[in-house]
């Protein structure tokens, strides 16, 4: 079977060149038109994000800006920060410093792009809310700084809250590095320690929304306490014999040594028991000064002074 012959016109060479040139010119006109449309577009912003996204009163706010490329060269930005839907006067930089807002404020920023010739449309960011700032403790110490077993210890705290919220404190007392259970207030009673113990307190602040960083005091060492004379001298005698049993207590339960610092001739005291005996002579008529000293092994002392006066008829 013979195939049917089809006559296809053959383009001459000059005509073919003219055809290709037409295609090239057409494509060039299309690209030039697209470029012209792009170049005529004003600069545009696609997103503005405020950082950090969970700020508090002490945060500095900065920006992350994304824009669409218009091909018209470098783009600059004009800023206006907004607080609670009102512009903040004078805040026209890319960063908003802390001190311009407080807890609960809603912060936005309006950014306007410019290529030096044309300004684009302003872009208003999504708001960020200023969150609570935790309270801060500047200093903690224990009073009295020189403490004995007879003292109640008190934790002194210097703290503040950036938002002006009231602060509650949680206390953790330690003795010789071990936490004292049940001691969660600012006072430590004297029955919880003894001479030589090392005491510290750690305090944690809380403003009802968040806890701040705990702070620990310097340690205090419970020092030696002097003995205390608790008895009172008698004013009567048994005939011409005067006796007085001096009683003293040592808070640290140290042994006590008694002595007479001032006494009439012939008066004696037992250094262990504190019993005074004095046989009064006629020469002892008139006022007599007696001074008793009670001392512990570390040299801590207490004194008792009194005057006796006798007349002989």
| Least confidently predicted of 97-106, 124-133, 281-290 | 281-290
Assign domain 228-310 to its CATH architecture.
Sandwich (2.60)
Asked whether the predicted pLDDT for residue 199 surpasses 80, the reply is: yes
Q: How confident is the model at residue 158 (pLDDT cuts 50, 70, 90)?
A: very high
Q: Report the chain's mean pLDDT, rounded to a whole number.
A: 89
User: What value does the mean pLDDT take over residues 134-141?
Assistant: 98
pLDDT at 146: 97
Q: How confident is the model at residue 20 (pLDDT cuts 50, 70, 90)?
A: very low
pLDDT at 40: 64
CB count in 10 Å sphere of residue 22: 10
pLDDT at 10: 46
Residue 173 in contact with residue 179, Cβ under 8 Å? yes
Residues of the chain with CATH 2.60.40.10: 44-129, 136-221, 228-310
> What's the burial of 129, exposed, middle or buried (CB within 10 Å: 0-12/13-18/19+)?
middle
pLDDT at 285: 87
Helices (H), the chain: 13-40
User: What value does the mean pLDDT take over residues 82-108?
Assistant: 97
Task: State which H helix or E strand residue 129 sits in.
Answer: strand 128-129
The CATH number of 136-221, from 2.60.40.10, 2.40.30.170, 3.20.20.70, 1.10.10.10, is: 2.60.40.10
pLDDT at 39: 55
**What's the farthest any 2 CA atoms get from each other in the chain?**
179
User: What value does the mean pLDDT take over residues 223-243?
Assistant: 94
The class of domain 44-129 in CATH terms is: mainly beta
User: What value does the mean pLDDT take over residues 246-270?
Assistant: 97
pLDDT at 1: 38
């Amino acid at each position: 079977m013979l195939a049917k012959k089809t006559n296809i016109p053959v383009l001459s060479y000059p005509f073919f060149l003219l055809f290709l040139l037409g295609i090239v010119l057409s494509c060039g006109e299309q690209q030039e038109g697209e470029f012209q449309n792009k170049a005529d577009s004003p600069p545009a912003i696609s997103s503005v994000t405020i950082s950090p996204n969970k700020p508090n009163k002490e945060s500095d706010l900065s920006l992350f800006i994304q824009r669409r490329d218009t091909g018209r060269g470098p783009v600059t930005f004009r800023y206006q920060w907004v607080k609670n839907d009102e512009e903040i006067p004078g805040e026209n930089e890319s960063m908003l410093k802390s001190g311009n807002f407080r807890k609960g404020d809603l912060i936005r920023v309006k950014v306007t792009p410019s290529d030096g010739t044309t300004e684009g449309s302003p872009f208003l960011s999504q708001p960020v809310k200023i969150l609570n700032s935790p309270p801060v403790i500047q200093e903690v110490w224990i009073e009295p700084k020189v403490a004995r077993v007879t003292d109640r210890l008190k934790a002194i705290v210097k703290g503040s809250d950036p938002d002006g919220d009231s602060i509650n404190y949680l206390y953790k007392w330690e003795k010789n590095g071990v936490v004292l259970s049940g001691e969660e207030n600012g006072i430590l009673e004297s029955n919880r320690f003894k001479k030589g113990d090392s005491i510290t307190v750690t305090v944690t602040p809380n403003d009802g929304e968040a806890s701040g960083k705990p702070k620990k005091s310097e340690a205090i060492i419970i020092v030696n306490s002097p003995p205390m004379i608790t008895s009172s001298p008698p004013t009567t005698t048994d005939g011409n014999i005067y006796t007085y049993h001096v009683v003293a207590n040592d808070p640290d339960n140290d042994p006590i040594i008694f002595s007479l610092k001032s006494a009439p001739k012939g008066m004696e005291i037992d250094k262990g028991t504190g019993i005074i005996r004095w046989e009064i002579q006629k020469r002892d008529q008139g006022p007599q000064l007696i001074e008793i000293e009670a001392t512990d092994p570390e040299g801590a002392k207490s004194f008792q002074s009194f005057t006796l006066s006798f007349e002989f008829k």
